[in-house]
Amino acid sequence: MAQAKIRLFVEHGLGPGNSVPVGRDQANYLFNVMRLGVGDHVALFNGTDGEWLCEAVDTGKRRGMLKCVSQSRPLQMPPNLWLLFAPIKKARTDFIVEKATELGASRIIPIVTDFTNSERIRQDRLQAHAVEAAEQCGGTFVPEVAELTKLSLLLDAWPSERHLMFCDEARVGPAETLNGCTKGPWAVLIGPEGGFSDPERERLMALPQTTAISLGPRILRADTAAVAALTLWQATLGDWV
Amino acid sequence: MAQAKIRLFVEHGLGPGNSVPVGRDQANYLFNVMRLGVGDHVALFNGTDGEWLCEAVDTGKRRGMLKCVSQSRPLQMPPNLWLLFAPIKKARTDFIVEKATELGASRIIPIVTDFTNSERIRQDRLQAHAVEAAEQCGGTFVPEVAELTKLSLLLDAWPSERHLMFCDEARVGPAETLNGCTKGPWAVLIGPEGGFSDPERERLMALPQTTAISLGPRILRADTAAVAALTLWQATLGDWV
């Protein structure tokens, strides 16, 4: 079977014989930069229909057309896992979104905490990072990056069935473990570099959904903590087991 | 007790009453950039004597002198864990060294494999990254970054007592798990973006020290794989448990 070296995310239905128009940016990339010609193959995915091997049928440099040949990979949904994190420096925030996509988070929620420094994000840019990470890592699903939300508002309406893995670097006392925890909807919560405030910590610990987890005896940066926590969750309760 | 906001790595013995000279770069940073004066405090560590609260006694902008007051943290050695990885793009290689330091690797060995693209590294620059990561994350130990070494040469002389956690994205067949594995000296091996060659894979699987581990159903970038693998090891066999 023909192989595609290029994988692209599109916002268009994919199915047997479907025609998929490509707009200016992707046409430029495919037919100008990568010099694909009519009959060449591309892998497309849209987050819902799996990955499809597609063939170029019109290769204009401003717009083109691809045609679905066959499904090359079924849709692989990640577990029902949210990542909540407080945005930090730009490069490290981008990194967290990239890694959460690779590691199989289903929804990424940037949060404002009492000690969050960076109070602005570009949601569209972060969403584009998630798309790019899925394109690179062979994923068929792209997690939604939510708008920046206050942690306190999220907790006001926290779903009763969603467990919370609370990674608190400054926590005193014995840590809990994920072993033996219930599978199902979860969220991983990573604090800002300055940690959580005492009121936040008290509120989180009072939630019955909370499991407080230790990430070892060394202080981790927030981006490292995000990757480590997602790894532990996936290896214990997620789709790595 | 006085608190120091700045932590620095020095190559000098630290002990009760020790005087510690600081050279041009660190003197400029401490007394010029950060404007520390006589009597101000700095935390120093050297990788062997723990962390010491020190007081500035001479604050010249080209050289200065600090004096050890008291030990503020004992030496905390990481487990006997090597990280072997094939260098990739510069920023991601820097990242791997930073994360391995935070996550508690004791030795970092960049390797050349059959499919390694980037064949040059700046060992001194990577070592400086490890120092900086230890300064930032409150570590008292700095892992040694080795010179670039061929994987085949390392395997020729592989220590019989050192277990090998082989993270092979392309592996077919059921994965093993670290649960139940023996504690002791280990190495985590992460391949290049292109994976391992068949002869490499055969040789690694033939080693009695090898445990082949899966990092989930999605393809991970090499830097993500390094963080995920170190996390799994630390949480199962290392000092997170």
pLDDT at site A162: 98
**Position B111 in a domain:** yes
State how far the alpha carbon of B144 is from the alpha carbons of B79, B126, B130, in Å. 13, 10, 8
* A215 lies in the same domain as A142: yes
Inter-chain touch B227–A227, beta carbons under 8 Å = yes
Q: What is the CATH number of the domain that holds B207?
A: 3.40.1280.10
* B52 lies in the same domain as B94: no
DSSP of A15-40: -TT-EEEE-HHHHIIIIIIS---TT-
Q: Are B104 and A216 in contact (CB under 8 A)?
A: yes
Question: How many interface pairs between A and B have CB atoms less than 8 angstroms apart?
Answer: 85
* B21 lies in the same domain as B91: no
**Position B59 in a domain:** yes
pLDDT at site B128: 96
Residues 6+ apart with CB under 8 A from A25: none
**Position B215 in a domain:** yes
Model confidence at B172: pLDDT above 60: no
Q: Which residues of B touch A95 (CB under 8 A)?
A: 95
- Going by C-alpha positions, the residue among B67, B203, B75 that lies closest to residue B138 is B75
Average pLDDT over chain A reads 92
* B108 lies in the same domain as B189: yes
Distance from CA of B79 to the nearest CA of A (A): 12
Average pLDDT over chain B reads 92
State how far the alpha carbon of B241 is from the alpha carbons of A176, A179, B229, in Å. 11, 12, 15
Residues 6+ apart with CB under 8 A from A34: A6
Q: Is A235 on the interface with B (CB under 8 A)?
A: yes
B231 vs A138, A221, A232: nearest CB: A232
Model confidence at B66: pLDDT above 80: yes
pLDDT tens for A190-237 read 998 888 999 999 999 999 999 999 898 888 999 999 999 999 999 999
The model's pTM: 0.92
d(CA B168, CA B150): 18
d(CA B7, CA A217): 18
Q: Which residue range(s) make up the domain with B230?
A: 81-236
The token duo for B96 is 């791997």
pLDDT band at residue A27 using 50, 70 and 90 as cut-offs = very high
**Position A112 in a domain:** yes
E-assigned strand segments in chain B: 7-9, 19-22, 41-45, 51-59, 64-73, 81-85, 107-112, 144-145, 149-150, 163-167, 186-190, 210-213
* A20 lies in the same domain as A132: no
pLDDT at site B69: 97
* B93 lies in the same domain as B65: no
CA end-to-end span of chain A: 31
* B69 lies in the same domain as B86: no
Model confidence at A173: pLDDT above 70: no
Last residue of a domain, one of A73, A94, A113: A73
* A11 lies in the same domain as A111: no
Q: Is B76 on the interface with A (CB under 8 A)?
A: yes
State how far the alpha carbon of A130 is from the alpha carbons of A27, A95, A142, B1, B36, in Å. 21, 10, 6, 46, 43
Distance from CA of B90 to the nearest CA of A (A): 15
pLDDT tens for B186-209 read 999 998 888 899 999 999 999 999
Inter-chain touch B221–A138, beta carbons under 8 Å = no
* B141 lies in the same domain as B217: yes
Nearest residue of B to residue A102, measured between CA atoms:
B220
Last residue of a domain, one of A41, A73, A105: A73
The owner of tokens 């006001």 is: A156
Inter-chain touch A102–B217, beta carbons under 8 Å = no
pLDDT tens for A94-125 read 999 999 999 999 999 999 999 987 668 899 99
Q: What is the CATH number of the domain that holds A40?
A: 2.40.240.20
Lowest mean pLDDT among A81-90, A98-107, B152-161: A81-90
* B53 lies in the same domain as B100: no
**Position B214 in a domain:** yes
Nearest residue of A to residue B228, measured between CA atoms:
A231
Q: Which residues of A touch B235 (CB under 8 A)?
A: 216, 232, 235
A224 vs B102, B217, B220: nearest CB: B102
Q: Which residues of B touch A220 (CB under 8 A)?
A: 102-103, 137
**Position A1 in a domain:** no
Last residue of a domain, one of B52, B73, B94: B73
State how far the alpha carbon of B24 is from the alpha carbons of A182, B62, B119, in Å. 56, 5, 33
* B180 lies in the same domain as B129: yes
B234 vs A139, A216, A234: nearest CB: A216
B137 vs A220, A227, A234: nearest CB: A220
Model confidence at B91: pLDDT above 90: no
Task: Indicate the number of domains in chain B.
Answer: 2
pLDDT band at residue B119 using 50, 70 and 90 as cut-offs = low
**Position A2 in a domain:** no
The owner of tokens 């005087």 is: B19
At CA A113, angle to CA A112 and CA A116, rounded to 5? 80
Inter-chain touch A231–B234, beta carbons under 8 Å = no
**Position A146 in a domain:** yes
